[in-house]
Amino acid sequence: MNLQQLRYLHKIVQHELNISDAAKALYTSQPGLSKQIKSLEEELGIEIFVRNGKRLTGITEPGKAVLEIAQRMLHDVDNLKQVGQEFRSQDSGSLTIATTHTQARYALPPVVKQFIKRYPNVKLSLHQGSPTQIAQQVLDGEADVAIATESLIMYGELTTLPCYEWHHCIVVPIGHPLLVEKKLTLKKIAQYPIITYDFAFSGRGKINAAFNANNITPNIVLTAIDADVIKTYVELGLGIGIVAQMAFIPERDTLLRMIDTVNLFQSSTTRIAIRRNEFLRGFTYHFIELFAPHLTREVVTKGIRI
């Protein structure tokens, strides 16, 4: 048994049991990969995969247990490498942040600027995606940290820590009738076409929950993952927008006006997610603290060891 065989297992699962795709990703041959997996199964005395001819169609019950242990072992190997890098070169290396558009566009820029100034020799990468995609990137070891509002707490293999709370707001063109309403209500908002986030992004669940709780069906005519896209279509007069309040920038959004909705929609919480029992480089702790000052090294370490 060797670590390479465990890496092969992991890569096959990553590629949805497609041996050909896994072999390409590993820069090895399909027969060679199949031979290594068969050798491992023979040594363990079990079948890890369900087969239909030469094709893998599922994972056996003992195979699931093997894969879970293999994941932990590979994770620990990565941690060993991180320990060596930390003590060999504390201020150099790489850090990959997986996040959504809203966080990358509006919340992270000042943090990234400070971090790059402090750690010029650290290669910082931002991967954008849906909350589900970025959580999976952290689980697969493709990213060190995930930052998002939705979905992260659904993954038991991840430690999630709250960073900050934020609210939605309404954005409308200059002169819109809602601007002169003395008391804004969900019923009045629902009288207009609405442009807002796709369901998986930026607290959309809180928007739906507010309307549902009041038995109101909003007229949502367009959804997007990007607040800038939403604001563009509001400027064109296609509807009113519901976006994260941080996404409204007065000096840039000169053709729009913002209406506070703090009493209409529940606040949303942006969270940071890290794999459990992860060894983090010193600069990773610093990045997290720059983003959420209350998440000190002590707090984060305690969280990922639970």
Region 72-76 average pLDDT: 79
Asked if 204 and 130 count as a contact pair (C-beta separation under 8 A), the reply is no
Distance CA 240, CA 217 (A): 15
4 pLDDT tier (thresholds 50, 70, 90) = confident
Cβ contact 99:128 at 8 Å: yes
Q: Which of 291, 282, 292 lies closest to 301 in space, CA to CA? A: 282
Q: What does the block give as tokens for 86? A: 């930390």
Q: Quick: pLDDT tens for 131-181.
A: 889 999 998 889 999 999 877 888 888 999 999 999 999 999 999 999 999
- 295/300 Cα distance (integer angstroms): 6
What is the amino acid identity at position 272?
I
Which residues have CB under 8 Å from 137's CB, separation 6+?
96, 98, 127, 129, 143, 146
Question: What is the pLDDT at residue 3?
Answer: 85
Local confidence band at 2 (pLDDT 50, 70, 90 cut-offs): confident
Cα separation, 174 vs 259, in Å, equals 11
Identity of residue 29: S
Structure confidence by residue, pLDDT tens digits, 20-30: 899 888 888 88
Query: Which range among 19-33, 117-131, 253-267, 289-303 shows the weakest confidence by mean pLDDT?
Result: 19-33
Q: By mean pLDDT, which of 5-19, 113-127, 182-196 is the weakest? A: 5-19
- Reported as a pLDDT band with limits 50, 70 and 90, residue 306 is low
What is the pLDDT of the chain when averaged over all its residues?
A: 90
